[in-house]
Every structure is written in C-alpha cells, then in structure tokens.
Structure 1
Amino acid sequence: MAAGDAALIKKINRSLIINEIVKHEAISRANLSKVTKLTRATISAQVADLIEEQLVVEKEIEYNLVGRKPTMLSLNAEAGYALGIDLERNQLTFVVTDLLGSPVSVDVMRCDCTNYADTLRLLIAQISSYQQQYNGRRYGLIGIVISVHGLVSSDEMIHFIPRLDWHQAPLKQDLQAALGVEVHIDNNANLSAYAERVFVHHPTKNLISVSLYSGIGMGMIVNDQYFSGHDGFAGEIGHMIVVPAGKPCECGNQGCWEKYASETIVFEALSKLYPDQKLDYTFILQQVEQGDQRLADVMEQYIYYLTIGLNNVINIYNPDVVVLDSGLLRIYPDALNKIKAGLRSRISHYHGLYISELGRTSCTLGACAKSIQQFLDIPALSLPYHAALSLPAAAPEYTLSSSME
C-alpha cells in the first residue's frame, strides 16, 4: 500500500471515530469498534493519538457489578472554543461555545454605526480579546464564523447587506489580514438551518429553515450539505412574489413575500393601531392574554400570507423537515395548527413542520457548530440539545423606532 493511501485511510478512520464519540457523548473502546466496524487494534492506536492530543478524555463510569469498571471515551469539550458572531444593524452578538456546542460566553454589543470601517474596528478589537482570553487552552479559538443578514457569495464576499447598505464588503479578507487567523462568513438563514439540524433535528438530512424577522430568509440543508446555488445566493425566498402588483419592495419588485409575512410588517401594522406603545413581544403577549381582537386580526393576516408562501416552498423543495423561526409564532396561541390548517394542497409533502425553539440565537449557534465540524473534520455533526437551551434569553427583538426599516 502506498504511503499516501495509508495516510488517507488513517484520516478517514480518525474522522469516523471522532464522529461516533461525539454522537454517543460517551462510548467504550469495545462499542466504538462495533459501531465503526474497525478492528480493536485500529481503535486502540487512534484513541491513543487522540488522548495524547488532548482531544479525547477517558472517564470511568459507576459500575456496581463484579469486575473491572468500564472506561468511557468522551470528547474533551474544553480543549478548544468556537466563536460565532451575528452581525446585525445596531447590534453585534458574540457567542463562544465549547467543542460540544455548549455556550460558555454570550456578549451583546450595541453598535449604532453602519459604517463598514467602524464596524470592522469593533470586530477586530472584540475578536482579539477572545483570542487572548482562550489562548491558554489546548487549541484556543478553533474557528470564527460570522453570520450576516444579506447576500454572501460562494467565495464568502459580502455582496449586499440591505440594512447596513454594504456592497461588496471584503470582511473576511480584512479580518484575516488584521487577526492572522481564518475567518468564515455565511448568511444567517444558512447558519440557522444548520443549527436546527445539529442541535434539534439530528436524523434528517433534508431540512429547510425559514427566518421571519426583519425580512424572510431561507436556509437549506440537502443531503446533509448546504444548498446555496451557483453564486451562493440561493434562499432569498422573501422575494418570491405572492401578490402580483402588490406592495413595492426594496428589491425592485412588487408583492414580495416578506412585505406580507415578515415580523417587520406585523410590527408596522401594530404601530398604527397602538401609536403610543412600545411594541415588543411582551406587549403582544399581554394583548393576546387579554383577548385583543385587533391584534388577533393582524396575526391572522400574518399567518394567512405566511401559509401562501410556505405552500410554494414545500411544493418546490419537498423537504423532510420545515422549521419556522419567528418570535411571534412562538408566543401566539395555536400558531402551528393554524399554519398547518392553511396548507391544504393534496400534493404538498413534508414530514415535520415546527416552530424553532432556538430563536434569534440560532444563527450564532450554527456559526459555532460550523467551526466545530470543520475543526473536528467529521462529515456530519450532532450535538446535545441542552447545549442550545443553556443560552440565555435574547433581548427584546423589536422596539419600533425611527431606526427600524
């Protein structure tokens, strides 16, 4: 066997072993041999290397029977840390997780500037502080992934961020030049879809996640891989026309889906009904509990247009799992059943329709998960669901003001 072939086989076996250790959280050498179908000698040699590299640790479990206590293998979650960043207008969110995706640090920074150079300086300063903080760990920061709410090309160039008015912004290149480390840029909807797959919907290989906040974006996992289109711009489903000659959209068309079924549109409608109120989820929940019919009418209209677009999405993509990411849907009574009732087409096929429990933090969790998968070099990643749940609740997502588009 050629040396190159032997090295490739060793790399494949290593990836297979790490993948099973992560999936099982704790597994013995004997069971690892069974599930991977690798010989015990191969398992022993590979595990010895992983322990020496401090990537895997051994733990004895409680054992009440006669004989030797079983020794279990687990990923050393504290060997390295992933940094996920959500770049929004007026706010930067930084989440650091360990190698099992459990958040260890969450920082939200108000950023009232939209200027590219100023934002770049803020990012460089904050990322540098994380590098210093985790420098003492075995692998330090194992990856940095930034979520942006706009078009990102396949070479990770920011093509356009509408709410920041950034065009052709070389954020990846500028950060790498300043920090001396690899940085990745991705669309927020893609990362949210990935988080749903990694933390919640482990078995599926085909998932669509629809984000319904300031606009509408869609992330797609097809055969356990991103589907991003020729240039990386796939998923701009918010600009699917659902009302011919309807409301004008910033994209240049009329009647786009996000002009009828995004949360921005709901809050704009509510601002006319409640002009003197601070509009946020807390207020809406209070009105729901009080049986406010005006609010109910707005929400029913929102769900009506949501189902129109969703019907199209399901018929086009025939997904296994569909996840809707919306704070409004999470608090509105019986929202999921109302949506399902509106999907009347007998040719629509999907196996599961869910409202996301990860919420606005899903894109940063997805960013961290993407770093972890790249670092571990495994084909598919499944992380414990409680890791996502340990993230603190996000700040109020909407306060209607002059800065809101």
Structure 2
Amino acid sequence: MVTGDAAYIKKINRSLIIREIIKEGMISRADLSKSTNLTRATISAQVADLLAEGLIIETHLEHLTVGRKPIMLSLNGQAGYALGIDLDYGQISFTLTDLIGSPVTSNIIRISTVEYTEICHLLVEQIKKYKTEFNDSRYGIVGVVIAIHGLVGKDEIIHYVPRFNWHGINLISDLEREIDLPIHLENNANLSSFAERVYIHHETDNLLCTTLYSGIGLGMMMNDDFFRGNEGYAGEIGHMIVVPGGKPCNCGNKGCWEKYASETVIFEYLSEKRQIENLTYEHIQTWLDEGDEEVHEMMEQFIFYLSIGLNNMINMYNPDVLVLDSELLRIYPDSLNKITKNLNSSISHYRELMISTIGNKSCVLGACALAIKQFLDVPMLNLPYDITTNRIGSALIY
C-alpha cells in the first residue's frame, strides 16, 4: 500500500490518470475510475484540474442509442510541443511533435565540423528559432531531448563521443545559459529503444533495440525504464569482441562487433571500392536488384556476423522483444528469416525478433517522446502508431 502525504498521493493519482487517458486515447470518467481503481470523487477532482490546465479535453460522442451522450476524455495534443534532436556525425536532425507524439515539422542540417563550440552555437541558434516559432500553444515547447552517439553518464555529462572526439562535455550547462527550456541528454540507442516501447510494443517489459547505422548501439528497456549500468554507460555492445585479434577498432581493441556488422563497414568498403563519394541506400538497393554478386556476398557476411552478436545478446539478456534498426536489413530480401535461421542455439530464448518499422526516425522520435513523458510526469507512455501506413499519431513520418 502506498503511503505518504496528501500532495504525494495526489501526484501519484494524477500520473495514473494521465497515463490511462493516453493509453486509451479516449476514455470516460466511469471507465477511468474502473481502470485506475480510484474513486469517482477522486477522478472528478483530478479531471477538473487537468481540464483547467488545458492538458485534457472533453468530447461528446455521437451515437444512436437513447440516453445521455457519453463524455470522453483525451489528452490535448495541441497544448504544447516536444523537440527531439539527433546529434550525429555529419548532420543534426530536428523533429518537433505535439503532446501525443505526432510530428509537426522535421529538419536536417548538414554539418562539416566536429568542433564543440561551433556545434553548440548551432544548437542554441536552432532551438531558439523553434522556441520563437512554436509559442502559439499554452505550454509552448515543453522540453528538449538531445540524442548523443556516445557515452552519456547518469549525470548527463557527455563522457565520450568517438566520431567527434569529445571528452567530458557539459552540453546541458552551456545550452541552458542561453535557453530557458528543460533540456536533457540521452544515448541514441536508448532513445531508439524508448521509441519502440512507446509507439509499438506497449505491453513489453523487456525490450532490446540494436541500432546498426554509424556503429552498433544497444538500448535496453526493462520494466519501463532504461537499463544504464553503474554510471550510465551500459549498451556499448558494438565493442563486444567477436573476432579475437581481428580488425583494429578506435576503442583500442581488435575484432569489435561493429567492425563487422554495422552499416558503416559496408558503406565505407563500397564507397572506396567503387569510387562513389556519397554512397546511398539507393545505390545498394539498385545493386541488389541487379543481382550484384559482390554486394550480395557482403550482405550475407553482414548477416553472419550480426547473428553472432545477437546470439550473445539473447543469451545475456533473455529479452521479450529484440528490435533491429537497420535500413540495409529493411531493403535486403528475407533478411529477418536468414538471421533467425542462424539463431539456432537450444538455450537462446526470446519471444519476438523484428526489424524496426519506425526506422531511422526512431532516435529523434524517442527523444520527443521522452520530453513528453518528463513534462507529463508519467511512468510510461503508450502513443499511437499505425503500422499499415507508417504513421506516428495522426501525422506521417517524414
């Protein structure tokens, strides 16, 4: 039984109510009372507060039966915005969503520098633009979450970003001197796993999401929270050694998994071999469609080494759901079945292995969702996603 003072109990009840409204999309007061096990008096008082704050809205359902029209409650998505930022090597992606996670606008800015002061200045400039442009709602931008492709401690200090060669950076402090908004940092793979949990796998308690783009990262959602390790650096699975004495890695070891099973390996090799400076997925798709033997062999090798690491991960964590976030796997025919056939250990147990349906937007959308969660102060979100149309909320992923 939860005990505490009245204010604390009220906060817990508020959180339960908001989470249930988000989960159901639309719900009546009576059903809200049943699903939360709170009294109707408590529901009425809390709902009155949330309506006054503009966080929820009432809708009268039209129906043909005799009697009063039911009044349904839903989250007011237009009450504010969340800004997610993916700070990656060569580009910074920005996505702004409403409070139900539907994208409002997205933008990508290419960068040719790794200098911290330049990138920090660019972030300040862009965040201020968003803050000015989207101040038409009651709460404006409710929070900013920035995805970091490197080690972020529990104190949100950037310990190390390999491709930027950043060490011990306090980005939040530098941004907050210029911007009056709640700002948080999180590892990119963690945010991808959060997006998968929030938008797709609503009832999953143990979810792993492996991102395979510029390296290999692992985001772990366990019991509605990130698994971070002692200082917050858990998930650097790309530096698990799969080939002893193999290819040298920037981390200092040899034979790291990401030197064999990340998309970067294939892009770098084909770019150099075929003298194409800006190699794209479209190039690889064309070669696959044409039956290019070398590209097909590379993809088979990619899947072989990917399966080795996945087998280790499954045995270590025994996940409920394991999501693979890779555009190459999405375009390579029958890739999931080929991976599954390689996972034939009798002691490996998982319920579902799948390729992400959100795709490379999962990181920045996870950042938006985390900003929403922190603003609403709820333990977890279940936001709408239409898998048949590749739509988040009511807006197309773009």
**Alignment TM class, shorter chain as reference:** over 0.9
Q: State the TM-score, normalizing by the size of structure 1.
A: 0.94
Q: 1:388 aligns with which of 379, 386, 392?
A: 392
Alpha-carbon distance in structure 2 between the residues aligned to 1:125 and 1:270 = 36
Determine if contact 2:148/2:186 at 8 Å carries over to the other structure: yes
Q: Which residue of 1 aligns with 2:325?
A: 325
Q: Which residue of 2 aligns with 1:312?
A: 312
Per the TM alignment, residue 222 of structure 1 is displaced from its structure 2 partner at its CA by 1.1
Matched, 1:267 2:267: yes
Alpha-carbon distance in structure 2 between the residues aligned to 1:280 and 1:111 = 18
Determine if contact 2:28/2:70 at 8 Å carries over to the other structure: yes
Per the TM alignment, residue 170 of structure 1 is displaced from its structure 2 partner at its CA by 1.1
SS in 2 for 1:63: coil
User: Partner letter of residue 259 of structure 2?
Assistant: K
Alpha-carbon distance in structure 1 between the residues aligned to 2:132 and 2:321 = 40
Matched, 1:90 2:90: yes
SS in 1 for 2:209: strand
Matched, 1:192 2:198: no
SS in 2 for 1:221: strand
Q: Which residue of 2 aligns with 1:298?
A: 298
Q: State the TM-score, normalizing by the size of structure 2.
A: 0.95
**How does 1:1-400 map onto structure 2 within 5 Å?**
5-276=5-276, 279-386=279-386, 387-388=391-392, 390-393=395-398
**Per-residue CA distance 1:324-374 (angstroms, 9 max, x = gap):** 010000000000000000011100000000101111111111111111111
User: Partner letter of residue 33 of structure 1?
Assistant: S
Determine if contact 1:93/1:107 at 8 Å carries over to the other structure: yes
Per the TM alignment, residue 273 of structure 1 is displaced from its structure 2 partner at its CA by 4.6
Determine if contact 1:269/1:298 at 8 Å carries over to the other structure: no
SS in 1 for 2:392: helix
Per the TM alignment, residue 109 of structure 1 is displaced from its structure 2 partner at its CA by 1.1
Runs of 4+ in 1 over 2 A off after TM superposition: 268-279, 386-393
**Per-residue CA distance 1:125-161 (angstroms, 9 max, x = gap):** 1111111122231111111100011111110011111
Q: How many residues align?
A: 391
SS in 1 for 2:5: helix
Alpha-carbon distance in structure 2 between the residues aligned to 1:268 and 1:8 = 54
SS in 1 for 2:271: helix
Alpha-carbon distance in structure 1 between the residues aligned to 2:397 and 2:23 = 25
Per the TM alignment, residue 60 of structure 1 is displaced from its structure 2 partner at its CA by 0.9
Determine if contact 1:238/1:257 at 8 Å carries over to the other structure: yes
Determine if contact 2:103/2:392 at 8 Å carries over to the other structure: yes
Alpha-carbon distance in structure 1 between the residues aligned to 2:277 and 2:99 = 43
Per the TM alignment, residue 272 of structure 1 is displaced from its structure 2 partner at its CA by 5.0
Unaligned runs of 5+ in 2: none
Per the TM alignment, residue 295 of structure 1 is displaced from its structure 2 partner at its CA by 1.1
Alpha-carbon distance in structure 2 between the residues aligned to 1:254 and 1:260 = 11
Determine if contact 2:148/2:185 at 8 Å carries over to the other structure: yes
Determine if contact 2:215/2:263 at 8 Å carries over to the other structure: yes
User: Partner letter of residue 98 of structure 2?
Assistant: D
RMSD: 1.5
Determine if contact 2:103/2:397 at 8 Å carries over to the other structure: no
Alpha-carbon distance in structure 1 between the residues aligned to 2:336 and 2:296 = 15
**Per-residue CA distance 1:91-128 (angstroms, 9 max, x = gap):** 11111111100000101111212111111111111111
Per the TM alignment, residue 4 of structure 1 is displaced from its structure 2 partner at its CA by 6.4
Alpha-carbon distance in structure 2 between the residues aligned to 1:61 and 1:224 = 33
Q: Closer, same or farther in 2 for the Cα pair 1:306/1:4, shift >3 Å?
A: closer
**Per-residue CA distance 1:249-306 (angstroms, 9 max, x = gap):** 0100000000000001112332355335852111111122222222111100000000
Determine if contact 1:220/1:235 at 8 Å carries over to the other structure: yes
